[in-house]
């Protein structure tokens, strides 16, 4: 199918779900791309994964009682994020253990709840792997509204998020409310995940958070550039992924993630300063490669 | 007038008393070295001064005022490994993060803030590297960036935690010259260090810490070997004491 055919299908009134799916996929990729920059830079991919799985019981409850999926998912995700943040205050347990306890518990709860719903096998698959059909019109507004809210909070609290990522002790000493900023960041991650789950699915949503931001990180050493590049990479990959999946009848979520991964691998090889190719070309003959690629090792010397 | 005063400070950590009745003053214009063995409570003392730990008893006075939650009068330079050096950020933006707390929520840096950053960078001679990503700096340059970040608040007191660790000799020399001249410009500078010869040579005064201040004074006033043997828990044949005699 040529891109022109895809365009024709997009405006075909019989296929009204397609432009809706595209819009939701692109909007959620943009939001995930921006929030994902913090996730990647703080090394909190695991909490992203946890929140992604933790929204599942909320979605399941909303599904069983025919409530709003986004609202249900958000409540469950936020509840889990807060539990993790509170329990991680205990110095005996590292945060990753606490996350490990709660996110599997939340996911298990979701499975138990959804097993109570009639015909659950089909809906389970839809939750786990996403679907481009059956997005209600109101979801466009909810996703758009939630997206604007998330980006607005990021804009307002950016300097604080940077400060707590760079040096938590210093941030505390400066009087920043590190605990509350963590919670706000977790809530933002949750919202970004929830609005993305519909199209891309529960299992794969982590890729929307991590891969565009990681790709952007390979391409730049400037945070502002990274936070612009990541949503562009995410949005474009969602567009291309939907096109490919529509053309060849591939599952949408999986295709989008594979396109993202291809973008990441391309950046790994071709990145202008730190890419594989650039390092090979820069290295004068006879001198072995410096694995760090920069002047000093991360710990200093 | 002392810029930093610590009175009767007692600090518990995890149910154990780590510091007892600590008395210490640092005057404007002087560089004071805080030395002691591992576990003596050096970092705990600095963290308490910064308000990161709440003391069980005693109080901290900066510029004759008891300190509150937001300690704008104190500039803190943590150990270098506390900082996320792989973060994609330039030198000048790191220095600006030193003013995050002072700026407050939802406010963006203005002309006065960038002015303070420029002065701090100039003071540590990092102006030329201000747009460089911090991941590409050497160890000594990183230390100076953290120092500039503390100076961006224009504090009267500077606290440094092991600033010399992991630096080579010439870099250590440059840094101790810089600290000394900052002290002479009316800062009160307190640093912890493991490098006793350098501390004896550079610092105006030393404070020997082991759960409490064992002694404090100029290197000359601290010639008594017993003080060092008590503080560090070493015997009479320890090489440490030879350094003391040679100094």
pLDDT in tens, A254-288: 999 999 999 999 999 988 877 888 888 876 655 55
User: Which site among B101, B108, B130, B140 would you substitute to test the A interface, given the most A Cβ atoms closer than 10 Å to its Cβ?
Assistant: B101
Residue A178: list chain B partners with CB under 8 A: none
Is residue B161 located within the same domain as residue B136?
A: no
pLDDT at A296 over 80: no
Average pLDDT of every residue of chain A? 86
Spell out which residues of chain B touch residue A299, defining contact as CB-CB under 8 Å: 81
Distance, C-alpha A276 to centroid of its chain: 26
Query: Using N-to-C axis directions, what is the helix angle for A45-64 and A178-200, rounded to 10°?
Result: 60
B13 in contact with A, Cβ within 8 Å: no
Measured in angstroms, the CA of B84 and the nearest CA of chain A are apart by 5
Q: Which residues of B touch A174 (CB under 8 A)?
A: 70, 98, 100-102
| Residue B203 scores a pLDDT above 90 | yes
pLDDT tens, A130-143? 887 778 888 889 89
Given B96, B119, B154, the domain boundary residue is B154
- Picking from A166, A217, A296, the nearest residue to B84 by CB comes out as A166
Compute the average pLDDT of residues B79-93: 92
Q: Are residues B163 and B245 in the same domain?
A: yes
Q: What is the pLDDT of residue B104?
A: 85
The distance in angstroms from the start CA to the end CA of chain A is: 56
Q: Are residues B133 and B243 in the same domain?
A: no
pLDDT of residue B244: 78
Region of residue B41 (left: phi > 0; alpha: psi -120 to 50; beta: else): left
- Contact residues for A107 (Cβ-Cβ < 8 A; gap 6+): A53, A54, A56, A57
- A·B CB contacts under 8 A: 103
Is there a single domain that holds both residue B2 and residue B45?
yes
Q: What is the pLDDT of residues B30-45, one digit of tens each?
A: 999 999 998 899 999 9
- Same structural domain, B163 and B235: yes
Residues of B in contact with A217 (CB under 8 A): 88
Across the interface, whether the CB atoms of A159 and B50 are under 8 A apart is answered: no
B73 touching chain A per CB within 8 A = no
Identify whether residues B63 and B161 lie together within a single domain. yes
Q: Which of B50, B94, B105 sits opposite A173 (nearest CB)?
A: B50
Whether residue B51 and residue A166 make contact (CB cut-off 8 A), yes or no, is no
**Which of B139, B154, B169 is the endpoint of a domain?**
B154
Report CB contact under 8 Å: B71, A171.
Answer: no
Give me B230's structure tokens.
């008590």
Say what the pLDDT of residue A293 is: 44
**Spatial separation of the C-alpha atoms in residues B206 and B203, rounded to whole Å:** 7
Domains of chain A: 3-279 (1.10.3470.10)
Looking at every residue in chain B, the average pLDDT score rounds to 90
Residue A159, C-beta contacts closer than 8 angstroms, at least 6 positions apart: B97, B100, B103, B108
The answer on B199 and B184 residing in a single domain is yes
Interface subset of A 48-77, CB within 8 angstroms of B? none
- What's the pLDDT at A291? 47
Interface test with A, best of B87, B110, B144 (most A CBs within 10 A): B87
Q: How many domains does chain B have?
A: 2
User: Do residues B165 and B142 both lie within one domain?
Assistant: no
Neighbours of A5 (CB within 10 A): 12
Beta partners for residue B158, in sequence order: B75, B189
Asked whether the beta carbons of residue A159 and residue B52 sit closer than 8 angstroms, the reply is no
Asked if A298's CB is within 8 angstroms of B86's CB, the reply is yes
Using one digit for the tens of pLDDT, what is the confidence trace for A157-215? 999 999 999 998 889 888 899 889 988 998 899 899 988 887 888 888 899 999 999 99
> Which are the contacts of A174, defined by CB distance < 8 A and separation ≥ 6?
A163, B70, B98, B100, B101, B102
Verify that B57 and B1 share a domain, yes or no. Answer: yes
**Stretch B121-142: mean pLDDT:** 93
Domain check: are B60 and B134 in the same one?
A: no
By Cβ distance, the residue of B74, B98, B139 closest to A300 is: B139
For the beta sheet containing B16-27, the strands, ordered from the edge strand earlier in sequence to the opposite edge, are: B16-27, B2-13, B57-62, B65-66
Point out the residue among B52, B87, B135 whose CB comes nearest to the CB of A166: B87
Mean pLDDT of A4-17: 88
Q: Which of residues 146-185 of B touch A (CB under 8 A)?
A: 149, 166
Give the residue, B218 or A282, on which the prediction is more confident: B218
Q: Does residue B93 sit in the same domain as residue B32?
A: no
Q: Report the range out of A197-201, B91-95, B174-178 with the highest average pLDDT.
A: B91-95
What is the model's pLDDT at position A283? 66
CATH of the domain at B187: 3.40.50.300
Query: For residue A299, what pLDDT is reported?
Result: 44
Contacts of B69 in chain A (CB under 8 A): 175
Show which of B136, B154, B172 is a domain's final residue: B154
What domain range includes position B178?
1-73+156-247
User: Quick one: B96 and B67 in the same domain?
Assistant: no
């Amino acid at each position: 199918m040529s891109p022109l055919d895809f365009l024709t299908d997009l405006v075909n009134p019989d296929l009204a779900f397609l432009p809706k799916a595209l819009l939701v996929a692109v909007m959620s990729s943009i939001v995930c791309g921006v929030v994902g920059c913090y996730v990647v830079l703080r090394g909190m991919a695991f909490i992203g994964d946890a929140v992604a799985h933790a929204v599942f019981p909320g979605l399941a409850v909303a599904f069983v009682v025919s409530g709003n999926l986004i609202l249900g998912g958000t409540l469950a995700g936020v509840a889990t994020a807060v539990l993790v943040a509170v329990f991680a205050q205990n110095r005996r347990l590292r945060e990753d253990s606490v996350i490990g306890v709660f996110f599997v518990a939340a996911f298990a709860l979701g499975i138990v709840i959804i097993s109570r719903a009639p015909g659950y096998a089909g809906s389970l698959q839809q939750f786990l792997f996403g679907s481009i059909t059956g997005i209600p019109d109101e979801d466009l507004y909810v996703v758009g509204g939630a997206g604007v809210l998330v980006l607005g909070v990021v804009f307002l609290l950016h300097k604080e998020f940077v400060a707590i990522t760079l040096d938590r002790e210093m941030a505390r000493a400066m009087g920043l409310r590190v605990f509350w900023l963590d919670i706000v960041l977790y809530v933002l991650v949750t919202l970004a995940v929830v609005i993305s789950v519909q199209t891309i699915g529960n299992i794969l949503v982590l890729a929307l958070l991590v891969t565009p931001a990681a790709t952007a990180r390979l391409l730049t050493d400037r945070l502002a550039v990274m936070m612009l590049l990541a949503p562009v990479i995410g949005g474009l990959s969602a567009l291309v992924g939907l096109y490919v999946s529509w053309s060849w009848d591939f599952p949408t979520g999986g295709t989008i993630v594979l396109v993202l991964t291809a973008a990441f691998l391309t950046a790994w090889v071709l990145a202008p300063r730190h890419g594989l190719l650039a390092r090979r070309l820069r290295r004068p003959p006879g001198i072995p490669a410096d694995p760090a690629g920069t002047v000093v090792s991360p710990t200093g010397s | 007038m002392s810029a930093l005063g610590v009175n009767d400070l007692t600090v518990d950590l995890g149910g154990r008393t780590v510091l007892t009745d600590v008395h210490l003053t640092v005057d404007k214009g002087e560089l004071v070295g805080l030395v002691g063995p591992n576990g003596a409570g050096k970092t705990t003392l600095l963290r308490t001064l910064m308000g990161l730990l709440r003391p069980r008893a005693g109080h901290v006075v900066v510029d004759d005022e008891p300190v509150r939650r937001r300690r704008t009068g104190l500039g803190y330079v943590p150990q270098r490994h506390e900082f996320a050096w792989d973060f994609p950020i330039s030198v000048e933006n790191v220095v600006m993060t030193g003013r995050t707390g002072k700026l407050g929520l939802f406010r963006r840096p203005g002309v006065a803030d960038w002015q303070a950053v420029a002065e701090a960078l100039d003071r540590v001679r990092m102006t030329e590297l201000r747009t460089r990503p911090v991941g590409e700096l050497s160890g000594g340059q990183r230390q100076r960036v953290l120092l500039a970040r503390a100076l961006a608040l224009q504090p009267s007191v500077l606290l440094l935690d092991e600033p010399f660790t992991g630096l080579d000799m010439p870099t250590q020399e440059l840094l101790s010259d810089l600290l000394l001249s900052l002290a002479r410009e009316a800062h009160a500078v307190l640093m912890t260090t493991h490098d006793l010869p350098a501390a004896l040579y550079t610092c105006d005064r030393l404070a020997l810490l082991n759960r409490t201040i064992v002694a404090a004074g100029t290197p000359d006033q601290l010639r008594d070997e017993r003080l060092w043997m008590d503080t560090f828990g070493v015997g009479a044949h320890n090489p440490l004491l030879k350094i003391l005699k040679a100094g």
